[in-house]
């Protein structure tokens, strides 16, 4: 088990040298040599075009959980800033680590992101593995997965959590495959059971049930977590964190993928429902796209945004970006007003973390009332305009 250079195939091209994120490969007499810094991440194998590297992954066997320790998160960054998901995962990781009596670590990868380690420390992270990618300023699947794979093999964490973002959903499976372990995707709840195992809860069978998944035989236990499910811990200014520098020596020329252009799309005047404090959401009871105007008026008065159920989106009444639920976005605003939404489990998955839920529905048996903090049974076309008038009048003098 391991990795070796097949000298008769090696041409001395040096592609593997640039591909190794840990600087473990050097050229000696025109042939590649692998040094002690190798973590068996496999990045060099992908880079070699001449079948000159033989790599046999270690056999995956049942592991002794006592040999693994620590709850890790992948701290995603965007445009040089921490994504909100990084702070959400930090808080949850701190809770899980407390139950295990272990430490929290974050893997922070990017160009010039070292200053963000202090913020992670203030939000519950005890140690930050900082991998500065230098000239490589954009996310790269091969590079990021190689760094995390190598760190995981060396330090043997018990748990690794990723955001269920576009990057997290791309990265986590790569690491899982490299380590030969499983992965639970799109978790909405995490806890530690009496056997010190991570209980990973996610919707299953189209959202009709919530499945609890455990990984008793392999480590690390890995999961992606839906955004806006957990709340960040209140910052603790001055709370320190240990920073461990992880040398990254990959050159831009060694990457298989190159970012040519970044195009950001936005809808003028259309707020992102994941970033607002108030959401007024409509479902099948709205009957048409035109009727959403009354929800827009209420949302405008409250300084919020309009959301929608899958029925409303599939009917063409609202854009897909407004959809809340299992197949849409997960939101956790301070106030969520559900108008004409029955509230089946698929929708609840996306909004049950809201601080205050108000349901407006003419059906008193609608499932949404079971999770609502306040329910109004009646005609939404009378109730919503009345609420808009009352809130507008109350806020007029402020």
One fold for 2-56 and 65-254: no
The Cα 187–Cα 200 span in angstroms is 6
CA distances from 110 to 74, 78, 332, 355 (A): 12, 9, 28, 34
Q: What is the pLDDT of residues 12-54, one digit of tens each?
A: 888 888 788 777 888 888 888 888 778 777 778 878 888 888 8
Q: CA-CA distance, 95 to 73, in Å (whole number)?
A: 13
- Domain 2-56 in this protein, CATH class: alpha beta
Got the DSSP string for 330-388?
----SEEEEES----HHHHHHHTT-SEEEEEES-TT-GGGGT-SEEEES-HHHHHHHHH
* 252 contacts 283 by C-beta, under 8 angstroms: no
Backbone torsions φ then ψ of 375, nearest 5 degrees: -125, 140
What is the CATH T-level fold of the domain 273-395, as seen in this structure? Rossmann fold (3.40.50)
Per-residue pLDDT for 2 more than 60? yes
Considering only CA atoms, which of 226, 152, 148, 232 is closest in space to residue 190?
226
* Inter-residue contact 228 to 353 (CB < 8 Å): yes
Nearest to 330 by CA among 188, 158, 212: 188
Instruction: Give 336-384 pLDDT, tens digit per residue.
Output: 999 999 998 889 888 888 889 999 999 999 999 999 999 999 999 999 9
Residue 116 and residue 341: Cα distance in Å, rounded? 40
Tell me the mean pLDDT in the region 222-235: 88
Q: What is the pLDDT of residue 397?
A: 60
CATH of region 65-254, choose from 3.90.780.10, 3.40.50.620, 3.40.50.970, 3.40.50.720:
3.40.50.620
Instruction: Identify the band that residue 176 occupies on the pLDDT scale cut at 50, 70 and 90.
Output: very high
Question: Coil, helix or strand for 32?
Answer: strand
- pTM for the structure as a whole: 0.70
Average confidence (pLDDT) over 57-77: 81
pLDDT of residue 262: 75
Given pLDDT bands bounded at 50, 70 and 90, which one contains residue 80? confident
- Residue 18 has a pLDDT of 79
Query: What tens digit of pLDDT does each residue of 286-312 get?
Result: 999 999 999 999 999 998 999 999 999
- The residue among 310, 295, 267 whose CA lies nearest residue 358 is 295
Q: Residue 101 and residue 98: Cα distance in Å, rounded?
A: 5
Q: Rg of the Cα trace of the chain?
A: 24
| Domain range summary for the chain, segments of one domain joined by + | 2-56, 65-254, 273-395
**What mean pLDDT is predicted for residues 236-240?**
86
């Amino acid at each position: 088990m391991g990795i070796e250079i097949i000298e008769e195939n090696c041409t001395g091209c040096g592609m593997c040298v640039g591909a190794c994120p840990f600087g473990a490969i050097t050229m000696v007499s025109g042939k590649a040599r692998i040094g002690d810094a190798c973590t068996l991440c496999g990045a060099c194998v992908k880079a070699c075009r001449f079948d000159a590297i033989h790599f046999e992954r270690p056999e995956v066997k049942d592991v002794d959980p006592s040999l693994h320790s620590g709850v890790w998160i992948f701290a995603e960054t965007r445009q040089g800033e921490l994504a909100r998901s990084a702070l959400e995962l930090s808080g949850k990781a701190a809770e899980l680590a407390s139950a295990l009596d272990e430490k929290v670590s974050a893997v922070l990868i990017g160009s010039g992101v070292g200053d963000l380690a202090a913020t992670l420390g203030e939000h519950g992270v005890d140690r930050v593995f900082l991998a500065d990618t230098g000239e490589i300023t954009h996310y790269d699947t091969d590079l990021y997965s190689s760094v995390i794979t190598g760190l995981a093999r060396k330090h043997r964490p018990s748990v690794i959590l990723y955001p269920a973002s576009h990057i997290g959903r791309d990265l986590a499976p790569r690491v899982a495959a490299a380590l030969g372990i499983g992965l639970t995707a799109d978790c909405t709840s995490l806890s530690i059971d009496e056997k010190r195992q991570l209980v990973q809860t996610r919707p299953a069978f189209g959202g009709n049930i919530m499945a609890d998944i455990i990984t008793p035989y392999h480590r690390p236990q890995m999961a992606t977590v839906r955004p806006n499910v957990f709340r960040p811990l209140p910052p603790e200014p001055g709370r320190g964190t240990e920073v461990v520098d992880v040398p990254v020596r990959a050159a831009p020329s060694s990457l298989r993928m190159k970012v040519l252009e970044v195009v950001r799309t936005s809808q003028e005047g259309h707020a992102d429902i994941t970033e607002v404090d108030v959401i007024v959401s409509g479902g099948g009871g709205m009957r048409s796209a035109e009727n959403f105007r009354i929800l827009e008026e209420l949302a405008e008065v409250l300084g919020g945004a309009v959301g929608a159920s899958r029925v409303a989106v599939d009917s063409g009444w609202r854009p897909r970006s407004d959809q809340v639920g299992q197949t849409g976005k997960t939101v956790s605003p301070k106030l969520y007003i559900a108008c004409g939404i029955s509230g089946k489990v698929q929708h609840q998955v996306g909004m049950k973390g809201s601080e205050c839920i108000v349901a407006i529905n003419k059906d008193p048996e609608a499932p949404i009332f079971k999770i609502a903090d306040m329910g109004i049974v009646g005609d939404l076309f009378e109730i919503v305009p009345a609420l808009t008038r009352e809130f507008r009048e109350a806020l007029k003098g402020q």
